[in-house]
Amino acid sequence: MSDTDTIAIPLAGEANGTESFEVTFNNNDTNRKCGSCTLCCKLLPVQDIGKKANTRCRHQSAAKGCKVYHQPEAGFPFSCAVWSCQWLTESSTARLQRPDRSGYVIDNAPDLIRTTDSVTGATIDEILVLQVWVDPARPNAWRDPALGQWIAAKGLPAIIRFGSAKGFVVFPPALSPTGKWFIHTDGEMNTKSKTGSHLLDRIAGYE
């Protein structure tokens, strides 16, 4: 895998094609450092080691961060090795604060949301979305104006996640019929997903 990969994501339903999403895996363009920030270690689930969202990772250390960082022989999860938050790697997040200061982590991987037929359950459409994991202790952190501007500039909706199965979707003005921010609330998300992400389910071959 290169430092920056463009991933072609197949979409079902009316989309019936693929959409490309660029993922950056290093901080060469930003020269930013995690420093004392370990918010991703708390907020994100890690399937490799059975860690649930919003729980402390067993490898997490207040003094050191990750005790097994880039040490696969010591148990460093592969999914962590290929993951970075967008604040760390994306130059477009320059106006955002470090995650431990902002209260949210922007995932470098997108997800899919689906519209389904209420009678048959069949997928009508799939939409590629950004993922923002919000610290439940700071539930209004997602209202950061700089984050809103970043989402709008990306031109994609975003899942505001408070865990693997709780959150809502925000649509920027350009994607809303009213020309204003639109919030689609849904108390339970991805309840039929094995990994908590429809996109990861597809990549892992569960779909």
pTM over 0.85: no
Domain count, the chain: 1
Looking at residue 79, its pLDDT comes to 84
Pair 100, 39: CB distance under 8 Å: yes
pLDDT band at residue 1, thresholds of 50, 70 and 90?
A: very low
Our CA dihedral for 115, 149, 24, 32, rounded to 10 degrees, sits at -150
Pair 206, 198: CB distance under 8 Å: no
Cα separation, 23 vs 18, in Å, equals 16
Rg, Å, the chain Cα set: 17
The answer to whether residue 31 scores a pLDDT higher than 50 is: yes
Phi, psi angles (nearest 5°) of residue 175: -105, 5
Supply the range of the domain harboring residue 32: 4-204
Tens of pLDDT, residue by residue over 75-110, are 888 888 888 899 999 999 999 999 999 999 999 888
Summary mean pLDDT of the chain = 82
- Could you tell me which residues come within 8 angstroms of residue 202 by beta carbon, excluding any fewer than 6 positions away? 10, 112
Tens of pLDDT, residue by residue over 124-154, are 777 889 999 999 999 999 999 999 999 999 9
Tens of pLDDT, residue by residue over 150-186, are 999 999 999 999 998 889 999 999 998 899 999 988 6
Neighbours of 102 (CB within 10 A): 23
The answer to whether residue 5 scores a pLDDT higher than 70 is: no
